[in-house]
Structure 1
Amino acid sequence: MMGSFNINVDRTNQVFHAVVEGTFTPEEGMASVQAYQKEIATIAVPEYEIHIDCTELNVSSPSALPILEGCFQMYKQDGFKKVVLTLARNPILKMQLGRVARTVGLENCEIIEK
């Protein structure tokens, strides 16, 4: 399955919802980053939490890891109040995402398994 990235901003509860699915190519990764940047330009990021649904996300190949790191770096720099990742039971993906969060120093990241 190709990578897809859907955004829904809940302005009332100040939550930036994103759903990521499948396996991302570098091109899809870049397209999702552009969609993300366009959307966050319309909100006061530090007042928001970002909730990312990764239940349909596949483990990233080593070549896609830099994109993942770049995204986590963005969430950190943009200053979200909290970053919440929701996964299906997937120890490998959980480990991978946890490691990426630590690598970029994203301390306000919470990983929840459904």
Structure 2
Amino acid sequence: MTEKFKIEADPSRKLFVAAVGGSFQISDAGGLAMAFLQEGGKIQSQTSEYTFVADTRELESVDPALLEMLEQAFKMYKTIGFKKLYVVESKSADTSRQIREIAEKMNFGGEFVQSMDEIK
């Protein structure tokens, strides 16, 4: 993954995947939010049929200033009404720990997996 993020709805598998990579900064957040809204609009009336996947495998680090925004993102994922929620864990142990802590704080309710192959 060369770009910082990629948002994609896969109608054939009923997946909505938000992949993030690299060292994520405040300057990347606006573009990610716009892409999320744009792609999410394509499935707006069908979100209850889709599984949401936050693919953080290639995420190396999260700017500490973004942690509060990440909390809000987790809250939003819960309220949108996806069928299931998954986080594919980062290869970075520190980044995975940060994301797990935020998910627990927000009562995320999704599953943490090691690869896309584990998504059901």
Shared fold per TM-score greater than 0.5? yes
4+ runs of 1 displaced by more than 4 Å? none
Residues in 1 aligned to 2:15 and 2:53: alpha-carbon distance in whole angstroms: 7
Matches within 5 A, 1:5-84: 5-43=5-43, 44-84=46-86
SS of alignment partner, residue 23 of structure 1: strand
Could you tell me the TM-score, scaled by structure 2's length? Answer: 0.81
Report the RMSD for the aligned CA atoms in angstroms.
1.9
Structure 1 contact 5–20 (Cα < 8 Å) conserved: yes
Residues in 2 aligned to 1:90 and 1:82: alpha-carbon distance in whole angstroms: 24
Identity rate of aligned residues, in percent?
28
Q: Residue type of the partner of 1:66?
A: E
Could you tell me the TM-score, scaled by structure 1's length? Answer: 0.84
Residues in 2 aligned to 1:56 and 1:89: alpha-carbon distance in whole angstroms: 7
How many residues matched?
112
Alpha-carbon displacement from aligned partner over 1:85-110 (angstroms, at most 9, x marks no partner): 11244332222111111222211x11
Match of 1:4 in 2: 4
